[in-house]
Amino acid sequence: MAGERILVCDDDPQILRALRLVLRGAGYEVLTGATAEEALDRAAIGGPHAAIIDLMLPDRPGIEVCRELRSWSELPIIVLSAVTDEQAKIEALQSGADDYVTKPFAPGELVARVQAVLRRAGHAAIEPTIEADGLVIDLAAHSVSLDGEEVHLTPIEFALLRTLAVNRGLLLTHRKLLTEVWGPEYADATPLLRTHIANLRRKLAAGAQRPRFIRTDSGIGYRFTG
């Protein structure tokens, strides 16, 4: 389905122009950036439905862009690169890319690949911020505020809150949260999870008489209820 926003990042003006023409011709809105930082800014502000990222960027490797996008977003990522080495492809896919297309590319094939990753993703745009009852979670900036005041979270606490919030309303088991935030080797470390949930709840209470935002399903897990 056309009409989605596609983020394109490439430092070659000619390729950027060609991609813009090809994608607009297919009915997509195109957001562009020539550097990694520009791409991340466009992603946070523009809410693209998919991204096409070059590996060789002037400020940071495209691999790092993939990793950072994947840390706070589920949008489909296609790497577009002149690098044909198998190891580069493997690293890109392991860093969060959903597909890898080599240059020079066939316009029709690229559009078909964009359509395929959008179809698998269900056309969902990224949500740069999550808001609930005075709580604002900025996924791109890794910052949290409550009733206008900044809430200082540790990296683990932020990762835990982010995992709960992006699955708003869904019950996440202890094992699911531990695996997502700490890694599979911590899958059974339930006391560790309970300690961090308690700390997170304390920081999000802000004087409330009852726990806010995080509900316990006894013996099973937690859910974000904002």
pLDDT means per 10 residues in the chain (226 residues)?
Answer: 81 93 91 92 84 94 91 89 89 90 91 90 67 87 89 91 85 87 86 94 73 84 87
**Residue 38 exposed, middle or buried by CB count within 10 Å (0-12, 13-18, 19+):** middle
How high is the pLDDT of residue 54? 96
How high is the pLDDT of residue 166? 81
How high is the pLDDT of residue 120? 82
Q: Which residues contact 5 (CB under 8 A, 6 or more apart)?
A: 28, 29, 30, 31, 46, 47, 48, 49, 125
How high is the pLDDT of residue 207? 56
How high is the pLDDT of residue 16? 93
Q: Which residues pair with 80 in a beta bridge?
A: 101
Domains (range + CATH), the chain:
5-121 (3.40.50.2300), 129-224 (1.10.10.10)
What are the C-alpha distances in Å from 82 to residues 10, 85, 88, 104?
11, 9, 10, 7
Measure the CA angle with vertex 127, ends 186 and 116; round to 5°. 90
How high is the pLDDT of residue 1? 46
How high is the pLDDT of residue 183? 81
* Contact between residue 63 and residue 77 where contact means Cβ atoms under 8 Å apart: no
Q: What is the pTM of this model?
A: 0.63
How high is the pLDDT of residue 127? 63
